[in-house]
Amino acid sequence: MRHGRTEWNAAGRAQGHTDVDLDATGHEQAARMGPVVAGLGPSLLWCSDLARARDTAAYVGKEVALEPITDPRLREYSLGEREGMLDSEWRARFPEERAAFEAGDYDVVPGGERSAEVGARVAAACRDLLAATPAGETAAAVSHGGAIRVGVGTLLGWPEGLHGTLGSLGNCAWVRLGERSYGAGLRLLSWNEQA
């Protein structure tokens, strides 16, 4: 699941690792999402250690009587020198870089994390979560839009250039993955579900 909206999301400001709280809309989104995701019956709940993910996970945790476990590997991309910058300012000052970023090339951000690094760390966290999940049960994780996109692509074994084909994930939207009925690995069941 992606976290609920923050003031920075609403303003179009690059967040990355900056610890920004949910705004009132984000809390409302998380409150609507909690019971729906609880209906999937998660027995484990992990989340990024950033406040916007922890607070979103708390709404799900309340519905299923689970205390979310934080894992910094589920954090968003570090956006380096662009954290805190408005999207409009970024476009005006660095138009070619911003165009590449919007096309899915996050590696152009000065001082930011590389997609391969983010995909590897998010996928590793998800694999550990799956390994901790009892057979036949469901696990849930709350993370961040860009991190989820490359993490899911990495989990599914997609080449890095295909991650952007998943598109943007809305605030408090979620992805469902399932184990393959044949062979090892996961399959994509849904993308961008919302309450």
* Active-site option among 17, 28, 67, 76: 76
Would you place residue 185 in the very low, low, confident or very high pLDDT band (cuts 50, 70, 90)? Answer: confident
* Alpha-helical runs (H) found in 39-159: 51-64, 87-93, 95-102, 115-132, 145-155
* Active-site option among 3, 17, 144, 163: 3
Of 62-66, 117-121, 149-153, 166-170, minimum mean pLDDT range? 166-170
pLDDT the model gives residue 164? 78
Please indicate whether residue 76 is annotated as part of the active site: yes
Q: How far is CA 142 from CA 41, 99, 124, 138, 189, in A?
A: 15, 28, 15, 14, 17
Q: How far apart are CA 98 and CA 110, in angstroms?
A: 11
Please indicate whether residue 63 is annotated as part of the active site: no
- Does 35 score more than 90 pLDDT? yes
pLDDT (mean) for 188-192: 95
Helix, strand, or coil (residue 180): coil
